[in-house]
Every structure is written in structure tokens, then in C-alpha cells.
Amino acid sequence: MAGTVRAARATARRALGGRPRLRPRRRPPARLLALLAILGPGLIAANAGNDAGGIATYSSVGAKYGYDLLWMMVLITVSLIVVQEMAARMGAVTGKGLAELIRERYGPRWSLLSTVAVLVANLGICISEFVGIGAALSLAHVPKYASVPIAAVMIWLLVVRGSYKIAERIFVAMTIPFFAYPVAAILAHPHWGSVGKAIVAPHIQLNGPYLFLFIATAGTTITPFMQLYVQSAVVDRGIGVDELNAERIEVTAGSIFANVVACFIIIATGATLFVHGHRNVASAADAAKALEPFAGRFAEALFAVGLLGASLLAAAILPVTAAYVIAETFGFEKGLARRPREAPVFVGTLTALIAVGMLVALIPGLPVIHLLVLVQVVNGMLLPVTLVFVWRLASNEELMGEHRNGRVFNGVAGLTVFATSALSLLLLGVTLTGHA
């Protein structure tokens, strides 16, 4: 009987090509695959905002005021979601970048004004990102004269020689180091009850330094290049109206993730630097060094890893954003899938920004603080203009049709634009008058 059974099994194997039947491999759930498939512009743009300057700002907030400003991160997250959703929706519906729509709807003068401001701001931030790369790797005793040029070449090869899919996947992968901040915050042993209370119970002060950091936190979380990048990237990726709901989920998830990371940076520095009276933080690298005595060498290393990932991501996204804007403003070919001969202006712009950013970052004794102040001023001027354009264009029935802002959403968007623009202009005034 046993022999008969074995013979039957052998006959069945031969019928299947001589191979035994294998158990089907367990595939990842369809929902997980769908989520991974849509990760892209929203996640990349929001996390690029957590750059070296952003980390320095969040570190300063935690060091100077502990958890007191955590409540505002909830409001900022809502504002960021609203603004990024409008930009992504316009890209999906119109198939055009923001700079191109501004040129078509409001004329070349407004488009040129925003283009010049974006170039100046992005160049300044790009320099600070390469400074951040050098600072992060210097904590591992790698000299900036080696790390910065190598990083610049790698970024250039990625955005110029790689395909769009490869570039986007690597951009998404660059968000992984941000997970270092929650771990660093846990190692800092914060009082979680106080953290929870600070999130739900606003603690407001009316002194100059508090207001400055309040405004700077809003300004570093919602910056003009984020809206410009996310809309152009949605177009470049070929996302259409049929994928709009998925892109909304991606933009929302990316915004929440980025701001949760920002909260953990505040928590990590609040639980260590603030508690021990170390209130002044000049840079993200300073914050990483200062963590070691209170949270250990591992926490310092994690903070440095997060800084490196943030700086690399932003150093790649900022030149690409500027290249999108230049190409859209003047009607040139654009796209990460384009080769230099196909889109010479697009590739030339991002190459120039990477090269200048790298070279300036290598200058000994570079006044980084003054540079960041200048960038803050330019961004303060650009953000209200950019947000008003995003709001008005997303509300335009002729342009957006049934996908225009609804009444309730339009009211929330208008309030968001007004509040963030007012904060940005207030920061500009405080910075120019030296009352920070």
C-alpha cells in the first residue's frame, strides 16, 4: 500500500514538471504593498524640512524651554497637511508645477520674483546642509574636506545619472535615519507625563526669545521649497486624478511622521539639555555633542546619524526643487529621468547649486549663523507669497474644476495661509530689527 502511495506521488510530480509541489510563499498584505507603493513626494518633502537648520531650531526649543512648545506642533502639523495637500492636488489635477501655474495665471513678473527668491533661499539652505553633513561626520572623526566632496558627488550621481524611480526610492530610504531621534529621546528618559501634558495644555510666554523660537519653529516646519517640490514631484511621477486619494494619504502620513520626529528632537533635548541647564544650542552638531554627558555616547551617535540623514536628504531635494522652478518658469524641459542633453537647464541648475553649496561649505571659518539668518529673511519674504498662490490656485474653479477647495476646506486653508504668513512676516521683522 505504501509503495502504491509513493508511486502515485511520483506520477503527480512528473506531471508537474518533475518537481514537488511547493507551498505558496506568503506574500505581504495587499494594503502594505499599496502603502509602500505610494510613499514618495509627501514623505520626502516633509522630511526634507527637518534639515540641519530645522534640527538646530527644534534642539534650541527643547534646550531653552523643555517641553513647553510641544503643543504648537499639533497646530503646525494640521497646517502642514493642509498646505501640502493643496500642492499635491494641484499637481495631480493640472499636471503642472507651481511655478508654471504662477507664470500662466499671474504673468512672468510674479513667477520671476518667486524664482529668484527660491534660488537665493535654496542656495543658502543647500550650503547649510553640506555644513551639516560635514558636522555630522566630524563627530565620527571624518574631516569635512573628505566627507563633503564625497557626499556632493554621490548626490549629483543620484539626481543626474539615476532614474526617477531609483532617485525617489533612495530619497525615501534617506528618511530611515530619522528613526534615530525617537530612540535618542527614549534614551534621554523624559518624564512622559510632563510630555503628554505639554502637548495638550498650551504654555505661552510673551517674552522675545520665546516668541522668536515659536515663530522660527513654524517657519522651519513649513517652508516654500516643500510646496514647490511636492507639486513638481507629483507631476514628474505621473500621479493623476485617479491616484489622488492615495497621494492625499501619503502627504498626510509624511507630514505627521516628519512632525512626530520633530517632537522627539524637542523631547530628547528637553529631557537632557534643559533639565541640566544647558540652554544654548548654536547648531544640531552642538546638540548631539551636548547629549553625551546626560544620555550617553549612543544617544549622541543616534542624534548624529539623524543629522547626517536629514542633511543628505535636504542637500539632494533643494537643488532639484530649484531646478524644477527654473525649468517651469522659463518653459524648459525638466525631470529626474532626463539626461543632461535632454534637459540642460534643469541639470545645469541642480549641478551648479550642488557645486556652489559644497565649495562654500568648505570655506574655513564660514559664518554659518549669519548665513542662516539671511536664509530666514529670504524665506520669510517668500513663504507668504508662495502660500497665497497655492491657496488661490487650489480654489480656482476654472483650473481645478470639481477638485477645487470646498468651502470648509477653503476656510481652513485661508486661516492657515493667514496665520503662517503672519508668523513668517513677524519672524522677518524680529530678525531684521535684531530683537531675537
Q: What is the pLDDT of residues 277-319, one digit of tens each?
A: 776 776 666 677 766 665 566 777 777 788 888 888 888 888 8
Could you tell me the pLDDT band of residue 393, with boundaries at 50, 70 and 90? very high
Q: Is the Cβ–Cβ distance between 430 and 436 less than 8 Å?
A: yes
Which of residues 225 and 279 earns the better pLDDT score? Answer: 225
What kind and span of H or E run contains 63? helix 52-65
Grid cell in block for residue 1? 500500500
Q: Tell me the domains of the chain and their CATH numbers.
A: 42-433 (1.20.1740.10)
pLDDT band at 195 (very low <50, low <70, confident <90, very high): very high
**What pLDDT shows up at residue 30?**
45
Cell readout for 204 is 505661552
Average pLDDT over residues 251-259: 91
Show Cβ contacts of residue 269 under 8 Å, excluding neighbours closer than 6 positions: 58, 59, 61, 62, 63, 281, 287, 291
Q: How far is CA 370 from CA 58, 150, 374, 375, in A?
A: 18, 26, 6, 9
The rounded distance, in Å, linking the Cα atoms of 11 and 8 is 5
Q: Which residue has the cell 505627521?
A: 256
Grid coordinates representing 327 are 525649468
What are the φ/ψ torsions at residue 338 (nearest 5 degrees)?
-85, 140
Name the band, by pLDDT with cuts 50, 70 and 90, for residue 27: very low
Question: Could you please report the per-residue DSSP string of 366-409?
Answer: --HHHHHHHHHHHHHHHHHHHHHHHHHHHT-HHHHGGGSPPHHH
Q: How far is CA 156 from CA 59, 320, 420, in A?
A: 30, 10, 33
The reported pLDDT for the residue numbered 338 is: 79
Of the listed ranges 38-42, 128-132, 233-237, 241-245, the one predicted with least confidence: 38-42
**Rounded (10°) angle between helices 108-138 and 344-361:** 40
Q: What is the DSSP annotation of 265-298?
A: HHHHHIIIIITTT-----SHHHHHHHHHHHH-HH
Q: 50-54, 98-102, 228-232 — which is least confidently predicted?
A: 50-54
Residue 399: alpha-carbon gap to chain centroid: 27
With a cut of 90, say whether residue 90 has pLDDT above it: yes
- Give pLDDT, residue 149: 94
**Nearby residues of 45 by Cβ (< 8 Å), 6 or more positions away:** 84, 226, 227, 229, 230, 233, 254, 317
Q: In whole angstroms, what is the distance from residue 146 CA to residue 254 CA?
A: 32
The confidence band for 34, taking pLDDT boundaries of 50, 70 and 90, is: very low
Nearest of 280, 262, 159 to residue 209 by alpha carbon: 280
Average confidence score pLDDT of the chain: 80
